[in-house]
Structure 1
Amino acid sequence: MKLMINHQTHYQYTDLACNSIQYIKMTPTSNLHQKVYSWDVSVPGQKCTKYDAFNNIWITSSQRQPYQQMTIMAQGIVEINHDTVYGVESLINPNLFLQPTANTLCNTEMKEFAKRHVPCLTRKYLIVLSEAILNHIPYVADQTSVLTSAIDAFQNQQGVCQDHSHVMIAMCKYLGLPARYVSGYLFVPNTSHLASHAWAEVFLENAWYCFDTSNQLFSPNSHIYVAIGRDYWDVAPIRGIRERGGVESMHSIVQVLAC
């Protein structure tokens, strides 16, 4: 299935900004799950491309001229294997994804929740855990932020795909299973997905399995992989610093369409 992706992120500032650096991870790569036919990231200023520690494509863009608005656009065509069962293979040791991060820690209540729903380390019970997480944390937009941790989301009992992924990862790591955070896009027929997507994957029986808790999808046959890491901060689509600029406002538009 070929998909066309158009992802635009618009920034506006109340004052002139200058001397900014943007770190961009918005470029998918070809693998057994997907084939990238074309892809381009358009961003003002000078840019260079390299790979990060997780083999994600990492663009660094610097802009010295003053500006009051900026648009970063990623677009291209990707074909995915609709029959995929497993997640993308990686040469990285899975045990790296047992490392704790600030966003993927468990409190006592979360540990009890995980043990109650996963009496045995099988994919069947991990699906039960994923379902229970969504029941406990209904999908509610605009109530959390990139700073929200797994503990915060679990206690507040509301969140989005980022929060569901962090909670799933935190509980799986507590259970001793390597778990990773995946950023990308989700194809939903007859609609355009209005934000970039995230899901968790767990290493079990020598393979990575998809746990898209927000949508209760457990195979990645509608997912485009962009970046993989331990949590959101390893794969953030855009991070940056700047001088001045006053108050920043941002909005994004994402379209994932069959072509």
Structure 2
Amino acid sequence: MKLMINHQTHYTYSDQACNSIQYIKMTPMSNVHQQVHYWDVSVPGQKEVKADAFNNIWITSSQRQPYQQMTIMAQGIIEMNPHTQFGIDTAINPNLFLQPTANTLCNAEMKDFAKRHVPYLTREHLINLSAAVLQHIPYVPDQTSVQTSAIDAFQHRQGVCQDHSHVFIAMCKYLGLPARYVSGYLFVPNTSHLASHAWAEVFFENTWYCFDTSNQLFALNSHIYVAIGRDYWDVAPVRGIRERGGIESMNSIVQVLAC
């Protein structure tokens, strides 16, 4: 299945900004699940492309001229295998994804929640845990931010795919299972305007399994990989610093269409 993806991120500033550096992870790679036929990331300024510690494609863009608006556009065509059942293998040791991060820690209540729903390790119990997380944290947009940790989201009891992934990853790490955060896109037929997406993958019985808690999907037949990491901050589409600029406003538009 070929998909055309268009991801635009628009920034506006109340005052002139200058001397900015943007770190961009919006470039998918070809693997056994997907073939990238064409991809381009358009961003003002000078660009440098390299790989990060997780082998994600990492663009550094430097903008020296003053500006009050900036647009980053990623677009391309990807052919996805709709029959993929398991997460992709990488050269990275799965045990790296046992490493705790500030956004994927458990408190006592979360540990009890995980043990209650996973009395012993089976994929079925992990699926039950995913369903329980969604029931505990209904999908409600605009109630959390990229700063929200797993503990915060669990206590707040509202969130989005980022929060579901952080909470599920935190609980799986507590249970002794390597778990990773995946950023990407989700294809939903007959829907053109979607947000970029995130889900968790867990290494169990020598296999990476998909756990898309927000949508209760456990296979990759609708997903496109962009980047893999321990949490959101390892795969953030855009991070950066700048001089001046005042108040920043951001608007993002994503289209995922069959072609």
Shift of 1:206: 0.5
Structure 2 CA distance, aligned partners of 1:192 and 1:139?
20
Sequence identity of aligned pairs in percent? 84
Within a 5 Å distance, the mapping from 1:37-76 to structure 2 comes to 37-76=37-76
Q: Give, as a single letter, the amino acid of the residue that structure 2 aligns with 1:255.
A: Q
Residue number in structure 2 paired with 1:254:
254
Residue number in structure 2 paired with 1:150:
150
1:83 aligns with 2:105: no
Shift of 1:67: 0.3
Residue number in structure 2 paired with 1:209:
209
Unaligned runs of 5+ in 2: none
User: What secondary structure, in the 3-state scheme, does the structure 1 residue paired with 2:103 have?
Assistant: helix
Q: Give, as a single letter, the amino acid of the residue that structure 1 aligns with 2:223.
A: H
User: What secondary structure, in the 3-state scheme, does the structure 2 residue paired with 1:91 have?
Assistant: coil
Residue number in structure 2 paired with 1:93:
93
Q: Give, as a single letter, the amino acid of the residue that structure 2 aligns with 1:252.
A: S
Aligned residue pairs, count: 259
Shift of 1:193: 4.2
Shift of 1:119: 1.0
Structure 2 CA distance, aligned partners of 1:192 and 1:182?
21
Structure 2 CA distance, aligned partners of 1:187 and 1:216?
14
Residue number in structure 2 paired with 1:195:
195
Summarize deviations over 1:232-257 as a string: whole Å, max 9, x none: 00000000000000000000000000
User: What secondary structure, in the 3-state scheme, does the structure 2 residue paired with 1:4 have?
Assistant: strand
Summarize deviations over 1:167-214 as a string: whole Å, max 9, x none: 000000000000000000000010024211000000001110000000
Structure 2 CA distance, aligned partners of 1:191 and 1:29?
24
Checking the alignment, whether the CA contact within 8 Å between 1:5 and 1:255 is kept in structure 2 is: yes
Checking the alignment, whether the CA contact within 8 Å between 1:23 and 1:239 is kept in structure 2 is: yes
Structure 2 CA distance, aligned partners of 1:39 and 1:192?
19
Checking the alignment, whether the CA contact within 8 Å between 1:187 and 1:193 is kept in structure 2 is: no
Shift of 1:122: 1.1
User: What secondary structure, in the 3-state scheme, does the structure 2 residue paired with 1:30 have?
Assistant: coil
Structure 1 CA distance, aligned partners of 2:71 and 2:88?
30
Structure 2 CA distance, aligned partners of 1:136 and 1:192?
29
Within a 5 Å distance, the mapping from 1:1-259 to structure 2 comes to 1-259=1-259
Summarize deviations over 1:74-126 as a string: whole Å, max 9, x none: 00000111110001111100000000000000000000000000011111110
> How high is the TM-score relative to the length of structure 1?
0.99
Structure 1 CA distance, aligned partners of 2:15 and 2:81?
46
User: What secondary structure, in the 3-state scheme, does the structure 2 residue paired with 1:102 have?
Assistant: coil
Structure 1 CA distance, aligned partners of 2:32 and 2:231?
23
CA RMSD of superposed structures (Å):
0.5
User: What secondary structure, in the 3-state scheme, does the structure 2 residue paired with 1:127 have?
Assistant: helix
Checking the alignment, whether the CA contact within 8 Å between 1:186 and 1:193 is kept in structure 2 is: no
> How high is the TM-score relative to the length of structure 2?
0.99
Q: Give, as a single letter, the amino acid of the residue that structure 2 aligns with 1:223.
A: H
User: What secondary structure, in the 3-state scheme, does the structure 2 residue paired with 1:115 have?
Assistant: helix
Structure 2 CA distance, aligned partners of 1:204 and 1:221?
20
Unaligned runs of 5+ in 1: none
Shift of 1:128: 0.2
Structure 1 CA distance, aligned partners of 2:237 and 2:164?
18
User: What secondary structure, in the 3-state scheme, does the structure 2 residue paired with 1:147 have?
Assistant: coil
